[in-house]
Amino acid sequence: MIRPPAVAGRFYPKDPEVLGVEIDLLLASGTQQQKIRAQACLVPHAGYRYSGEVAGEVYSRMEIPARVVLLGPRHFPRGASFAILSDGAWKTPLGLVRIDRPLAEKIMRACNLLREDSVAHESEHSLEVQLPFLQRLAPSFAFVPIVIGSAQFADLESLGHAIADVVSSELGPILLIASSDMNHYESDAVTRAKDRMAIDRVLSLEPRGLFDTVRNEDISMCGYGAAVAMLTAVCQMGAKHAELVSYATSGETSGDFQEVVGYAGIIIPAGSK
């Protein structure tokens, strides 16, 4: 099965040459810095006009391995709450990206919550917008796509542990990417204050703390489930610290500071045991 692009021409350019130029410009901000061998990262997934610079700073700072596990929210109420695809490829204007079938099948066996479900993925943008960055940096990479609907902490924790078990047993590096925007549609000042609370929990590597903070403080962080699962995995694998690479709100682009969306870029380095 080949999944066609769902948001090319809306969230990012559909012309491959234009897209390549835009990705290169977004990546240029970090090219002078030494690249980090990362265990995981948190990146935003809005249209490139709004969050592309934050995502570009994160991706430009990392070595991109040949294998990636990509976690994000399921924005639409269709399909399984824990939806994975284990075969085929995804198409973007830059070409096809192969699904890492052996890795996907191992993660499915390790986590009985996951369901093979193309419906949950067909219109979802949270994973798709990451692919052109990865294609530009590691053209032959393969990935495992997982989207998450509403879920309890225990289920997110279970997924995180399963991913850690599988990744730890594999040879060679595997990058975990959690795709999430931060607080939505409140003022710039309120959004920055709320986002700071959530970001602090991510930087402290506290999956339960992030889950509770988002719920208790009414932070509309759409991909917090993906971030909780990612944090659970890296904590099991011995991560000790995380770095905030970039933060912005949509107001900086739109000029509207009354209703903004926050974007955070965070890297969790590898080898931090």
pLDDT at 269 over 70: yes
- pLDDT tens figures, 137-195: 999 999 999 999 989 999 999 999 999 999 999 999 999 999 999 999 999 999 999 99
b/e string for 63-98 if b means 16 or more Cβ within 10 A? ebeebbbbbbbbbeeebbbbbbbbeeebbbbbeebe
Residues 156 and 81: beta-carbon distance below 8 Å: no
Residue 189 vs residues 219, 239, 261: alpha-carbon distances, Å: 13, 31, 11
Rounded CA-CA distance 132/130 in Å is 6
Structure confidence at residue 273 (pLDDT): 40
- pLDDT tens figures, 37-88: 999 999 999 999 999 999 999 999 999 999 999 999 999 989 999 999 999 9
pTM: 0.97
Task: Return the number of other C-beta atoms located less than 10 Å from residue 248's C-beta.
Answer: 20
- pLDDT tens figures, 118-134: 999 999 999 999 999 99
Where are the strands (E) in 44-174, listed by range? 67-73, 82-84, 89-92, 95-99, 115-116, 142-148
- pLDDT tens figures, 197-256: 999 999 999 999 999 999 999 999 999 999 999 999 999 999 999 999 999 999 999 999
Structure confidence at residue 34 (pLDDT): 80
pLDDT at 272 over 60: no
